[in-house]
Structure 1
């Protein structure tokens, strides 16, 4: 059984999230949640605290350092 859905049978609510909403840009404010998600970690209090400390010391560049 196929799990794919033909384009014609998708509901009007089934759409892609715009790219600008999926990525943080260094020129914008980066939240601890952004950093946690960019690192591939679960959003939980421990990881949010890690991200807050990292953003305090490295600023928005902390996100860039996660990229390959």
Structure 2
């Protein structure tokens, strides 16, 4: 059996070398629930500290829930 062909029994999403882009609607993590300052801090890759929470509160006040979307891919 040749190993150069992907296994036909595997779904195409799991095949190595598949370069199809993920649809945009699957990339967004927000589920319609309210965005918390903790969510913004974690999405920014920061530790939850009082200083970072205050930064996130200001960011949410300025940008609304879109602040989280701007931080996520």
TM range (shorter): 0.5 to 0.7
Distance, in Å, in 2 between the alignment partners of 1:31 and 1:58 is 13
Counterpart secondary structure, 1:29: coil
The answer to whether the Cα contact below 8 Å between 1:32 and 1:55 also exists between their aligned partners in 2 is: yes
TM-score by length of 1: 0.61
Q: Give the aligned CA root-mean-square deviation in angstroms.
A: 1.8
Distance, in Å, in 2 between the alignment partners of 1:36 and 1:43 is 6
TM-score by length of 2: 0.57
Matched length? 46
After the TM superposition, list the runs of 4 or more consecutive aligned residues in structure 1 that deviate by more than 2 angstroms: none
1:35-54 maps to which residues of 2 (within 5 A)?
A: 35-54=40-59
Distance, in Å, in 2 between the alignment partners of 1:43 and 1:37 is 7
The Cα of 1:28 is off from its aligned counterpart by 1.2
Unaligned runs of 5+ in 2: 1-27
The answer to whether the Cα contact below 8 Å between 2:30 and 2:69 also exists between their aligned partners in 1 is: no
